[in-house]
Amino acid sequence: MNVSVVGSGYVGTTIAACFADLGHDVRAIDIDKDVVAALNRGEAPIHEPGLGDVLEAQAGDRLQATTDYEAVRGTDLTVLALPTPTDAEGRIDLSVMEAGAERLGEALAAKEGEHLVVVKSTVIPGTTGEAIGPILEARSETDLGEGIEIAINPEFLREGTAVPDFLEPGKIVFGTRRESRDERTTDEAGPTHEERSSRGLALDRLYEVYEPLLSNEGVPVVETGLREAEMIKYANNAFLAAKVSLINELGNICKVYGVDAYEVAEAIGLDDRIGAKFLRSGVGWGGSCFPKDVAALIAAARDRGYEPELLDAAVGVNDRQPERLLELLDEHVECENERIAVLGLAFKPGTDDVRNSRAIPVIEGLQARGAVVVAYDPVATDSMCEHFPDIEYVDSAAAALEGASGTVVVTDWDEFEALDTEFDAMSEPVVVDGRRVVSRREGLVYEGLTW
């Protein structure tokens, strides 16, 4: 198929590269000239394992990037992968999406033939049908169902494993307008649609673009309405975020009773109603999705008069975990003017993304205590420099530990597991581990956050 992807952030770039890898001809559209140039050189504008290889293989071949929205005219469907950040009140900010939909609609006004617009970004229920759809109709001067159609196909890929997650999804969700389905008979659609099933343009093209993935192994496909698909994404992320906050709360209780939360988690995870995944308690969740999506869902619920108490509590527990980590440090070290090592800056391993990383409140808390912060991360130092230009960054964990009176572990990078004699270079061997990567050992004053 000919596919266009609007927006070349983490999600858009991964999708564009992977669709090209699956054999489609892809046009990636972004307003940022530097991003477009990088993609055309076959370089990933972000740190994502495996993405560079796919881009290198596909750039200039099945993948071409441009700043020009007119490129959508030569394609069968457009994926809208633009950011949906939250505003100061936590509400979803649709301005980038709406501006993109306007330009897309204008470009489609001059397109011959049918076109499907697929919303990939995370949006509050009702947005695709009631905000994006009408913009497309107005700007393209075409009614939905009369040549353009709209759908939502939420993305569940994780940073750090984005490429394999895309290529081996746990599920694929197709949200379409209910009235767009089963409406086409061969008679109405005319001979060019004879081969089309009665699913309608949206589902037809969605199945076609995902066909290479669906033919692999039984990936479950969920066909649902627009609002349901929009909500599935929020529910997925809210559930996982709340699951981590619940294990963190249980972990905090474990800690005060001298119980190892990881032993507890291993046992409860055997209950298949609970499941073993996402039970790693520690300093909490961050990233671009969980904080933004939980905040947007809370704001959207409150806008309609519903008090989301459990989600509020999930955020509250998450906000408190970094301070709990530092309180454990306080039990062993008077931080003022002392050198304190922060191991890990990324919001999780495998990425250079520091958005909402728990390292941010940890560093702020250390600065509030007057500590001299020395930080190390294998890939996220540059990103964190923008938040904290004045702390010391070093290029190895060993260098961070050298002369430190205390260490806090914030990201579960594998390499921290191998640290051993490096701790001997600390002036006081105090380690407060927020991710359970360092093991207790002789000579180390070791505190696990929930164990």
List residues with catalytic annotation: 289
Question: Residue 414 and residue 410: Cα distance in Å, rounded?
Answer: 12
Q: Does 289 bind ligand UDX (CB under 6 A)?
A: yes
Kindly write out the interface string for residues 141-160 of this chain, putting x where it contacts ligand UDX by CB under 6 A and - elsewhere.
Answer: --------------xxxxx-
In the complex, residue closest to ligand UDX by CB: 289
Q: Does 278 bind ligand UDX (CB under 6 A)?
A: yes
> Among the candidate windows 113-121, 202-210, 224-232, 282-290, which touches ligand UDX by CB under 6 A?
282-290
Taking a C-beta distance cutoff of 8 angstroms, is the pair 341, 401 a contact? yes
Q: Does 437 bind ligand UDX (CB under 6 A)?
A: no
Q: Does 290 bind ligand UDX (CB under 6 A)?
A: yes
Question: Residue 320 and residue 361: Cα distance in Å, rounded?
Answer: 10
Q: Does 171 bind ligand UDX (CB under 6 A)?
A: no
Question: Residue 103 and residue 410: Cα distance in Å, rounded?
Answer: 42
- Options 139, 280, 302, 332; binder of ligand UDX; rule CB under 6 A: 280
Cβ closest to ligand UDX, residue 184 vs residue 348: 348
367-406 positions binding ligand UDX, by CB under 6 A: none
- Options 42, 169, 287, 429; binder of ligand UDX; rule CB under 6 A: 287
Q: Does 347 bind ligand UDX (CB under 6 A)?
A: yes
> Among the candidate windows 42-50, 182-190, 280-288, 437-445, which touches ligand UDX by CB under 6 A?
280-288
Strand 115-119 with 148-152, pairing: parallel
- What's the min distance (Å) between Cβ of 26 and ligand UDX? 20
215-274 positions binding ligand UDX, by CB under 6 A: 237, 240, 244
Contact footprint for ligand UDX (CB under 6 A): 155-159, 237, 240, 244, 278-280, 282, 284-287, 289-290, 347-348
